[in-house]
Amino acid sequence: MNWRSFGYAVVSAFGNHVMGKVPSFRLRHAYYRHVLGYHVGSDCCIHMGCFFTGKQVDIGSNTILNRDCYVDGRLGVQIGANCSISPEVYILSMDHDPQSPDFATCGGVTTIGDNVWIGVRAIILGGVTIGEGAVIGAGAVVTRDIAPWRIAVGNPAREIKDRNRDLRYQCRYFTWFDTDIQMDP
């Protein structure tokens, strides 16, 4: 038995099934940073119910991961600053080659640029890069790179138009428990 892998599996499972449900951003973020070794930028908002796997997760400052997101850091996930990731989004880094007789894995580091907005229940496949300022529509399945400042929708996601580059907001969405009732800023 590989005791090192087993130990990391235990702390990961505890993170997902216990700490991920603790109604304190501060405690959850401390666990992700100091126990799992993830980079979690300042003023991030990782909401309750998020599920993490793998060791390579990097989240920029002022980024929101809303409730019940799935983040697959086995090959690496890099999320930029000031991103808004809606509930139940899947961000993958690893998959299987459907043509492989041995069910071989494939994928790569998934990169999400700064100021990206991803709609509810979108799926981002492994190795994809979403450029700075892009918007991914609700339910979209992103199978290939999305250019910066473009809006992409559908399955498979396709770019449909440019996004306004004059952004004046800063993502900050700290809520009480698992509600949409915001804490005072």
Active-site amino acid positions: 96
H or E stretch covering 7: helix 3-17
Q: What DSSP state is assigned to residue 184?
A: P
28, 47, 167 from 25: Cα distances, Å: 5, 7, 26
CA–CA separation, 43 and 65 (whole Å): 12
Other Cβ atoms closer than 10 A to 149:
18
Do the beta carbons of residue 112 and residue 79 sit within 8 Å?
A: yes
